[in-house]
Amino acid sequence: ASKASREHYASSSVKIFRRVKPQQKVNKPKKPENVEDGQTEYAENLVKVQMISRNLHAQLFPQAPRSISEQQVASAKVYKDELRRHGVDIESSAPVSDVQLKLPPLRGANIEEHFHNIAKEQVQPYEELLLPLVQCEQLPKRPKRWAFHTGWTAYDPEDGTATPVDHPLEKGLVFDVEVCVSEGQAPVLATAVSTKRWYSWVSPKLTKHRLSVEQLEPLDVDTDSERPHYTLTSYQRAMLKSKKEPAAEDLGWLEQSSLNSLVEVHRLYCGGDALSKEPRNIFVEGTLEQVRQSFQSLTNYCASDVEATHRILRVLYPLYAERFPHPASLAGMLEMGSAYLPVNSNWERYIREAQLTYEDLSIEAKYHLGRRAEEACSLLLDDQYRQNLWLWDEDWSVQELKLKQPPKRKPLPTVELKDSGNTPEERRLQAKFQHLYDQQALLPARRPLLPGYPLWYRKLCRKPPAKRADEILEDDEEPWFPGASEISTGMQIAPKLLSLCWEGYPLHFEREQGWGFLVPFRSDSEGVDRLPMDQLLARCPVPEFARLSASKAESDMAFDMLPGQVEQHLGKREHYKKLSQKQQRLETQYQGSGVWCNKVLDDCCFFLKLPHKNGPSFRVGNPLSKDFLNKFAENVLSSGDPSCQAAARVIDIARMMSYWRNNRDRIMGQMVVWLDPQQLPDELTVEKSQPIAYGAICPQVVACGTLTRRAMEPTWMTASNSRPDRLGSELRSMVQAPPGYRLVGADVDSQELWIASVLGDAYACGEHGATPLGWMTLSGSKSNGSDMHSITAKAVGISRDHAKVINYARIYGAGQLFAETLLRQFNPTFSASEAKAKAIKMFSITKGKQVYSSYEASRLAIQRNRTVAEVFHRPNWQGGTESAMFNRLEEIATGSQPRTPFLGGRLSRALEADTGPDQEQRFLPTRINWVVQSGAVDFLHLMLVSMRWLMGSHVRFCLSFHDELRYLVKEELSPKAALAMHITNLMTRSFCVSRIGLQDLPMSVAFFSSVEVDTVLRKECTMDCKTPSNPHGLRIGYGIQPGQSLSVAEAIEEAGGNDVSQWDWIKKS
C-alpha cells in the first residue's frame, strides 16, 4: 500500500485530465458465483484484473488481508486513464473459474519464510557434507603409492596402507575422474578425498579383470565445466581467449574473471604456480596400455586436480554463499545437475532410422545432381556452354586418348584373347582384327579418365576398376558405376548444376569472394568475351538502380563502353578507384540483400556477394548450407530453370538433412547406460519374446553455464521441436518413460514477459496490471486483440507474429535499429524510411521516450565541468506501455551491486566490476537481459524446490529447459504430480510477487494453462512427431498413444480432490 501512494509518472510529460466516465454496467460478464460460507470466491483488483480466489489468498498471504484504501482508489483512476490512453479496455477481460484448494500449511509466517525454510531443509544434508570440506584447511596426506586394484581403495591417512572397499566410507568427497578418450566415454580411473582419507578407483577395463561389471558413472559433470558462478559475456570470453593486450576499460573485469578450465579458475582464485596439465595428454591421445604404464603418475595427476579443486572450493564456496544468500539457489542447482532421461530400445531404433533415412536422402540428392551433370555434358556440343549462365566459367577442356608410337623393329606382343569365337566366321574375324587388339601395348600406362568429356565432369567420376566385373570380389569397398558418382550437395558445382538464382540473378563463384551473383549494368554485350551477356540480359534486364546511374552520367557510360582503352590509359588502381566511387553511389540505391565487394566482371556486370550470417566480410562457401535453406522458402534463392524439378527437390532434401547433419554427432554420442536385464523388475522381463532394453541418459548439464545462470547442455536443451521436414527432430520423443511411469511437466506461460512486466507494475504502481504492459500480459487475449502483440501490431501496422518477435527482441534489450532490420527482413517491400518510421513509432509507443538525451546531458555536464552523474539522474523512460518496466530494469541493472529481484543473487563479478559512471552504458543491454533471465532462473530454482517439497521422493527430476520442467513419476501418482505442478506455479509466483512488495496474485498466471501427463518427452502430449525418419508418427510407428493435458480443474479431479494436505506423505511429515 505504501508503494501505491507514491506519485506515479511524477515527471510525466503527458498528463491527462478528464472526467472519469461512469462505469459501464452493460455487457459486464457475469462473475462466477463460487460461494462458500456465504462469501464469494471471486476477487478483482483496482484495475479489474481478476485475482486468485479468496481461499487461496487466505492461505498464501495470511499476513495481508485484502483491503482497499481511499488513496488506492484515487490512484487507480490515474492508472485506468493511462491504460485507456494506450488502447486498453479494462472491461474486456472475461473471468475464469475460481479454484478451491486446501494447500499444506506454509512453513513459516508467510510465503517468503516458507520458501526459505523448505529450501534450507533441502540443502541441509548437502551443506552438512560440504561445509566440513570447505572448512578443512589441510587435506589428509596423499598416499605415496596408489594401489592398482579394480574398484575402490581406501588409504590410511597415517601410513598410507591401501584397503579395498566397496565404496568410499564418507559421503562428502572431492573427486575427479579421468577418461581415456580412445577407449570411450566411461572413466578409467578416479581419485577422491574426504576430510578423513584418500581413495582411488580403477576401472576393471584398466586392470583387465572382466569379472566385475561395475562401472563408475560420473555423479556430476566433469570438473572442467562445473564451476559456475563467474560467467562472462561472449565478448569477455573472446577477450580472455585471445591473449591480446587488454584495453584500459577492460582491466576492471579482467581482474575478476577467468575462462572455465581448472587451470584458469585455479589461477584466478588461488594464484600460485600454474597447474600442470601435461599428463592429461596421455588420457586424450594415449591408449589404455599407456595409461597402465604411467598409472602412478597419472593417478597422482588426478589427485593433484582433486587437491586444486578443493583449494578452489575453499575460496569459492564462501564467496558463493555470500553472493547467493537464498538456499533455494543451491537447492535448485543441485536438482538441475541431476537430470535423468529414461530411454529404451527405441533410442537405438531412432538413431538407426534417422541414419538410414539420411543415407537414402543423400543418395537421392546425389542421383539428381548426377543426372543434372550428365545433362549438362551435352552443352559441350557446339560450345553451347558459352551461353549457359552458370556453367560458362567451368573448365570444359577435353582430353584425347592417344596411342604411343609403335616400336620400329620389334613387333607388338600378341594379346591372348580368351575366346576366339564359336564359329569359323567368328574365328576368322577375330584373327583379322587381332592386330588391333595388339595395339593395347601402345595405350598410355596411365589411361586418361573419360577422354572426350569436359574436365569438370571428369572430376566427378571415378576410374573404373581394372578387373573384369565378374572378378571383382564382393568386399571391394564401393562398387563402381558409370557417371558422376562422386558428386554431392557440398560441392561447388552443385549450385551451378541446379541453376540457382539470388533475387533472380544467377549465382556465380569467385575464389576470393565466395558465392555471389551477377547483376548486369550494361544493356548490350559488345566486347563481352566470356560471360554470356545476352543470356544474362534476357533473364535479368539491367536493374533500375544500375540503369539510372549509367544514364545519369554519360561519361560513365562511355567509360564502360571502352574497357580496352580504359585499361591502356589508366593505371589499374585508378580504374578500380573510379568504379568504386561509382559503386558507392549504387550501393545506396540497391535495395536487395547482396553485399557489394567492389568487383566487376567483364566490364558488364557487378558481382555481389551473398550475405553471410556473420557479416559482410565473410565469404559464403555453400549456398545449399543450412543458413540459406530458408531463403528458398522466401524465394530469394531459387532455381533459374523452372523445368528443373530436381533443384526444388535437392533443396528440400538439403533442408530435411540439415538438422540431422548438425546434430547427429552429439545425439549418437549420448552415453546410454543400459540396465542389466537381471536388474529389471519381473513385470518387464516376463515377455521374453519382446526383449526391450531399458536404460537412461544423464545429460551433461552445466547447472549455471551462462552469465544469467541458465543451465547449458549441448544436446537436449537446444533440441528442436519435431518438424515434418526435419529428419531426426523426433529426438525428444525418444525419451520414454518405462512401463508404469509417466513424464509429468509443463511450460511456464510467457515467463520472462511476466517477470519483466510485474517488476514494472510493482515498481510504478504497486498493483498488478496497473501499467499497460502489465495489464496486457495478465488480461490481454489474442482472441479479442487485447494482448500486447496484437496491440503493437495494430498500432504500427504489421502482422501480430512479426510484432511478437520484435516485442521480445526489445524486452531482451534490442534497440530501435535492430527492430528496423527485423521489420525489413519480414517485409521486403518496406522501404528503408518506412521501416525506420515504423520502428520509431513502435518504440515511442512501447518503450516511450527518454526525458533527456544522454548526448544533451553530457554536453551540459561538460559545460559545467562535471560528470553526467553529478549533474543528472539517470534519464527516465516515459509515455510508453513499457516505460515503467524499462525504468525498473535499468534501475536494477545500473546499480553498483545488482541483485536478482526474487532470490537476491548477485551479478557476475566480471560485470559488476564495471560500474563507474562512464561504464554504466557499456554492458547495459547485457545487464538488463540479466535481470530478466536471471530472474527466470530464480523462478525455476524456486519451482524445483517447491516440487520437491510437495512430492518428496515420489518424483524424479528429468530435465528442465529454461521455462520447462519435467518429472518422472509412477503412473498412479501422475495426477497428483500434475496437481503439484499447478500448485508449484501458484506458490512460486506468490513468492516472487511477495518479494517485490505485492501481496496478491492475478488468477490468469496462478496456474499453468496445462500440465502434460505423457509417456514421452514431447512438447505437447498430442504431437505425433512425424518426420522424414518417423514417417508413420509415434502412434502407428512406435505404438505410442497421446498423453493427457490437464488444466488445474482437471488435475484436481484426477488427483482425487482438492485437499492436498491429506496426501499421505504430506500428512506424515
Partner 1 sequence: MEGNTPSCCNSIGHDFVPWLLTWAQQFRNNFQKLVKDHPRKAKCPTLLKHQSTCPAPTSNSLFGVKGPTLHLTTDFLVEPHRALEHFYNMQRESKIWWMRLSSNPSRYRIVPCDLAEDLNPKDYQAIDIRTSYGDAGEVTVEQLSLVRVVDDKDFRLPDARTGETVQPTVIRSVIELETATCALLLDGCDHGRDSQSLLLHRVLAPYQCGIACVESDSELSADLADLGLHLKHVLNHAGLRLSEGSGLFSTKDASHLAEHLLETDMLGIPYTLVINEQTLRNGLMQLRSRDTRLAETIHISDVPDYLLNIFKN
Catalytic residues: 176
Among 126, 148, 340, 367, binds partner 1 (CB under 8 A): 367
Q: Is 371 in the site for partner 1 (CB under 8 A)?
A: yes
Q: Is 667 in the site for partner 1 (CB under 8 A)?
A: no
Q: Is the dihedral of CA 979, 983, 986, 992 positive or negative?
A: negative
Q: Is 1041 in the site for partner 1 (CB under 8 A)?
A: no
Among 468, 511, 572, 1068, binds partner 1 (CB under 8 A): 468
Q: Is 646 in the site for partner 1 (CB under 8 A)?
A: yes
Within 874-922, residue ranges assigned H as helices are 883-894, 909-912
User: Which C-beta is closer to partner 1: that of 481 or that of 1065?
Assistant: 481
Count of residues in contact with partner 1, rule CB under 8 A: 62
Q: Is 1057 in the site for partner 1 (CB under 8 A)?
A: no
Helices 645-668, 345-377: axis angle to 10 degrees equals: 150
Q: Minimal distance in Å, beta carbon 682 to partner 1?
A: 19
Stretch in the footprint of partner 1 (CB under 8 A) among 211-219, 477-485, 802-810, 1007-1015? 477-485
Q: Minimal distance in Å, beta carbon 379 to partner 1?
A: 9
CB atoms within 10 A of CB 401: 11
Among 459, 649, 661, 836, binds partner 1 (CB under 8 A): 649
Q: Which amino acid appears at position 310 of this protein?
A: H
> E-strand spans in 101-246?
151-155, 162-165, 174-179, 187-193, 198-202
Stretch in the footprint of partner 1 (CB under 8 A) among 1-9, 305-313, 365-373, 529-537? 365-373
Which residues share a beta bridge with 673?
696
User: Which C-beta is closer to partner 1: that of 451 or that of 828?
Assistant: 451
Q: Mask 335-354, x = binds partner 1 (CB under 8 A)?
A: --------------x---x-
Cell readout for 355 is 541414419
3-state secondary structure of 1061: helix
Among 105, 164, 184, 452, binds partner 1 (CB under 8 A): 452
Q: How far apart are CA 231 and CA 258, in angstroms?
A: 9
Q: How far apart are CA 81 and CA 88, in angstroms?
A: 10
User: Which C-beta is closer to partner 1: that of 306 or that of 647?
Assistant: 647
Any idea what DSSP says for residue 416? P
* Residue in this structure with the C-alpha cell 492475478, named with its chain if needed: 1002
Q: Is 644 in the site for partner 1 (CB under 8 A)?
A: yes
Q: Minimal distance in Å, beta carbon 462 to partner 1?
A: 11
Stretch in the footprint of partner 1 (CB under 8 A) among 462-470, 490-498, 726-734, 905-913? 462-470
R_g (Cα) of the chain, nearest Å: 36
Stretch in the footprint of partner 1 (CB under 8 A) among 56-64, 117-125, 283-291, 423-431? 423-431
Q: How far apart are CA 487 and CA 365, in angstroms?
A: 9
Among 569, 577, 794, 1032, binds partner 1 (CB under 8 A): 1032
User: Which C-beta is closer to partner 1: that of 181 or that of 1036?
Assistant: 1036
User: What phi and psi, each to the nearest 5 degrees, are found at residue 593?
Assistant: -105, 5
Q: How far apart are CA 704 and CA 227, in angstroms?
A: 8
3-state secondary structure of 115: helix
User: Which C-beta is closer to partner 1: that of 442 or that of 562?
Assistant: 442
CA max distance for the chain: 126
Q: Is the dihedral of CA 551, 555, 561, 567 positive or negative?
A: negative
Q: Minimal distance in Å, beta carbon 371 to partner 1?
A: 7
User: Which C-beta is closer to partner 1: that of 361 or that of 620?
Assistant: 361
User: Which C-beta is closer to partner 1: that of 350 or that of 957?
Assistant: 350
Q: How far apart are CA 506 and CA 504, in angstroms?
A: 7
Any idea what DSSP says for residue 272? S
Q: Is 380 in the site for partner 1 (CB under 8 A)?
A: yes
Among 161, 185, 440, 1022, binds partner 1 (CB under 8 A): 440
Which residues share a beta bridge with 40?
35
Give per-residue burial for 19-54: e unless 16+ CB within 10 Å, then b.
eeeeeeeeeeeeeeebeeeeeebbbbbbbbbbbbbb
Among 184, 407, 421, 616, binds partner 1 (CB under 8 A): 421
Within 172-247, residue ranges assigned H as helices are 204-207, 234-242
CB atoms within 10 A of CB 486: 12
Q: Is 689 in the site for partner 1 (CB under 8 A)?
A: yes
Stretch in the footprint of partner 1 (CB under 8 A) among 65-73, 160-168, 355-363, 783-791? 355-363
Stretch in the footprint of partner 1 (CB under 8 A) among 115-123, 378-386, 910-918, 952-960? 378-386
Q: Is 496 in the site for partner 1 (CB under 8 A)?
A: no
The answer to whether the CB of 949 falls within 8 A of the CB of 122 is yes
By the 10 Å C-beta count (0-12 exposed, 13-18 middle, 19+ buried), 527 is classed as middle
Q: How far apart are CA 530 and CA 510, in angstroms?
A: 15
User: Which C-beta is closer to partner 1: that of 161 or that of 414?
Assistant: 414
Q: Which amino acid appears at position 1063 of this protein?
A: W
User: Which C-beta is closer to partner 1: that of 418 or that of 511?
Assistant: 418
User: Which C-beta is closer to partner 1: that of 4 or that of 461?
Assistant: 461
Question: Closest Cα partner for 605 from 535, 689, 705, 531?
Answer: 531
* Residue in this structure with the C-alpha cell 588420457, named with its chain if needed: 283
Question: Closest Cα partner for 729 from 450, 1030, 522, 282?
Answer: 1030
Q: Is 429 in the site for partner 1 (CB under 8 A)?
A: yes
Q: Is 374 in the site for partner 1 (CB under 8 A)?
A: yes
Q: Minimal distance in Å, beta carbon 1027 to partner 1?
A: 13
Q: Is the dihedral of CA 573, 579, 582, 583 positive or negative?
A: negative
Q: Is 445 in the site for partner 1 (CB under 8 A)?
A: no
Question: Closest Cα partner for 213 from 201, 224, 203?
Answer: 203
Q: Is 22 in the site for partner 1 (CB under 8 A)?
A: no
Q: Mask 196-215, x = binds partner 1 (CB under 8 A)?
A: --------------------
Q: Mask 598-637, x = binds partner 1 (CB under 8 A)?
A: ----------------------------------------
The number of angstroms, rounded, from the C-alpha of 945 to the middle of its chain's C-alpha atoms is: 26
Cell readout for 777 is 500480459
Q: Is 377 in the site for partner 1 (CB under 8 A)?
A: yes
Among 234, 439, 523, 1061, binds partner 1 (CB under 8 A): 439
Q: Is 424 in the site for partner 1 (CB under 8 A)?
A: no
3-state secondary structure of 20: coil
Q: Minimal distance in Å, beta carbon 833 to partner 1?
A: 44
The answer to whether the CB of 215 falls within 8 A of the CB of 203 is yes
Among 105, 451, 740, 917, binds partner 1 (CB under 8 A): 451
Within 562-681, residue ranges assigned H as helices are 563-569, 572-589, 626-633, 645-668
Q: Is 16 in the site for partner 1 (CB under 8 A)?
A: no
Q: Is 378 in the site for partner 1 (CB under 8 A)?
A: yes
Q: Is 1031 in the site for partner 1 (CB under 8 A)?
A: yes
Cell readout for 1054 is 484426477
Q: Minimal distance in Å, beta carbon 739 to partner 1?
A: 15
User: What phi and psi, each to the nearest 5 degrees, are found at residue 424?
Assistant: -60, -40
Q: Is 357 in the site for partner 1 (CB under 8 A)?
A: yes
Stretch in the footprint of partner 1 (CB under 8 A) among 209-217, 683-691, 713-721, 1048-1056? 683-691
User: Which C-beta is closer to partner 1: that of 451 or that of 916?
Assistant: 451
User: What phi and psi, each to the nearest 5 degrees, are found at residue 145?
Assistant: -130, 140
Q: List interacting residues with partner 1 (CB under 8 A).
A: 349, 353, 356-357, 360, 363-364, 367-368, 371, 374-375, 377-378, 380-381, 400-401, 403, 415, 419, 421, 426, 429-430, 432-433, 436-437, 439-440, 442-443, 450-453, 457, 464-465, 468-470, 479-483, 643-646, 649, 689-691, 1031-1032, 1035-1037, 1039
